[in-house]
Amino acid sequence: MIKIKVENLVKVFGNQPEAAMKLLAQGFTKEQILEKTKQAIGIGGVSFDVHEGEILVIMGLSGSGKSTLIRCLNRLIEPTSGKIYIDELEVTAMTLKELRELRQKKLGMVFQRFALFPHKTVQQNVEYGLEIQDVEPGLRAQKAVSSLELVGLKGWESNYPSQLSGGMQQRVGLARALAIDPDILLMDEAFSALDPLIKREMQDELLALQNRVKKTIVFITHDLDEAIKIGDRIVLMKDGLVVQQGTPEDILTNPATEYVEKFVENVDISKVLTAQRVMRNVGTVAYLKDGPRTVLRKMQDAGISSIFVVNNDYMIQGIVMAEDAAAAIERGEKSVSEIIRRDTPQVVPGTPISELYTMMSNGSYPLAVVDDDSKLLGVIIKGSIIAALAGRSES
Ligand SMILES: Nc1ncnc2c1ncn2[C@@H]1O[C@H](COP(=O)(O)OP(=O)(O)OP(=O)(O)O)[C@@H](O)[C@H]1O
Ligand SMILES: [Mg+2]
């Protein structure tokens, strides 16, 4: 389902947009238009869709129009022409009142500079968006606390931003956006100011979080590795225009132009493609209460030779192999507790394929992809990794 639709969006900065629009329609470049009209093209006619529940990355070098574009989505910047729809409602036709409502209810925004209030506590910062919605204080506090927990900041509620590291402050920014439970998160270079290590950690956490909350996320970055790691799809921009859009694999394997080719030529796909990208749905699982007969039956029905065991919260407990289940039935055992192998390898969604490959080549188990709470998100079998890598090396 399409959540956001952008149609031929243009933003001209300057007092004579008509002159610039005319030249734009005739195919003049941003530079030529600036020279001729002194009008700066922020974005010069951009169209794309964002599907519900996906992370769409808008990627491009500095000045390519990314921030202009994302700010047009909630009309923090007024587009010069073109249309934007969210849930099939035309944002570009909304009254200010409708717009305010849309921003408060559906859109959460996270910026590069965390934009926290220094004199407010962490919790007060997170409550801010709810406060302006007149949510009553009790509920506000409750939502803020659970949103802080979601980003791993439980216990930091009464601290002040200055007492937190950059990474933690960015989490507060994220918690603040999540507190209003928006359908859509707009993230403009949200991790760009962080140290590489913290940045990677935040990317992993965003992916894990996304598996739980399933928002529609528009994520801006100028970092290609980041785009490939977290994007379900990427819109690549240059000089205010889209040069290519597609999945990371599309863009890496079939660069549309020489520019894109140059852009991606040094990417090592095994380092940037992640567990998230190659994992499959788990399908059938076994529960601790299941006996060996049930478990074997589940495997037969699903055509698999091993099965993950989870508890009632879907947290992984281990794996049962078909031959062990058969043996347990022979021995007359009533529970699988004796035959669960608890040493099954587990990875987080952001783990690069290069690491998965090493992990898998030693073992005979599928890999379990889990979130921070050990909840099972997906499964990876060797074949899917090989397939993902093959796409690249053939070209
Ligand atoms: N308020 C403004 N007035 C005039 N020109 C502007 C304004 N804001 C942006 N621009 C121009 O629009 C173009 C796109 O800017 P934008 O900030 O969207 O780029 P960006 O891709 O976000 O870059 P960065 O990676 O540096 O954040 C640039 O050429 C910029 O100079
Ligand atoms: Mg920007």
pLDDT digits (tens, 9 = 90+) for 25-48: 898 999 999 999 999 999 999 999
**Is the Cβ atom of 40 under 6 angstroms away from ligand 1?**
yes
Nearest CA to ligand 1 atom 28: 63
Q: What's the 388 CA to ligand 1 centre distance in angstroms? A: 36
Q: How far apart are CA 59 and CA 222, in angstroms?
A: 5
Residue 161 CA to residue 121 CA, distance in Å, equals: 7
Whether the CB-CB separation of 271 and 389 falls below 8 Å is answered with: no
Question: What residues pair up with 321 in beta bridges, in sequence order?
Answer: 306
Q: How far is the CA of 224 from the centre of ligand 2 (A)?
A: 15
Q: Is the shortest distance between the CB of 66 and ligand 1 below 6 Å? A: yes
| Separation of CA 166 and ligand 2 centre (Å) | 19
If you measure from the C-alpha of residue 15 to the centroid of ligand 1, how many angstroms do you get, rounded to a whole number?
16
Substitution candidate for ligand 1 out of 9, 13, 70, 76 with most atoms within 8 A of CB: 13
Beta-strand runs (E) in the chain = 2-13, 40-51, 55-60, 81-86, 89-90, 107-110, 184-188, 216-221, 233-238, 241-246, 286-287, 306-310, 316-321, 346-347, 367-370, 376-380
Residue 318 tokens read as: 């281990």
Rounded distance between C-alpha atoms, residue 124 and residue 361, angstroms: 49
pLDDT value at 395 more than 50: no
Tokens 């990417």 — which residue? 267
Average pLDDT over residues 349-370: 84
**In whole angstroms, what is the distance from residue 19 CA to residue 186 CA?**
31
The residue whose C-alpha atom lies closest to atom 4 belonging to ligand 1 is: 13
Q: Which atom in ligand 1 lies closest to the alpha carbon of residue 71?
A: 18
Q: What is the 3-state secondary structure (H, E, C) of 187-246?
A: EECCCCCCCHHHHHHHHHHHHHHHHHHCCEEEEEECCHHHHHHHCCEEEEEECCEEEEEE
**C-alpha–C-alpha distance, residues 287 and 317, integer Å:** 9
Please write the tens of the pLDDT for every residue from 54-79: 999 999 999 999 999 999 999 999 99
Residue of 47, 30, 48 whose CA lies nearest to 39: 30
What does pLDDT average to over the chain?
90
**Per-residue pLDDT tens for 96-148?**
999 999 998 899 988 877 678 999 999 999 999 898 888 899 999 999 999 99
- From the CA of 62, the nearest ligand is 1
pLDDT of 295 above 90: yes
3-state secondary structure of 384: helix
**Are 30 and 11 in contact, with CB atoms under 8 Å apart?**
no
Ligand nearest to the CA of 63: 1
Angle, helices 382-393 vs 353-362, to 10°: value is 130
- Of 16-30, 83-97, 222-236, 373-387, which has the strongest mean pLDDT? 83-97
Which domains occur in the chain, in start order?
A: 2-269 (3.40.50.300), 286-393 (3.10.580.10)
C-alpha of residue 214 to centroid of ligand 2, in Å? 25
* Binding site membership of 64 for ligand 1 (Cβ less than 6 Å): yes
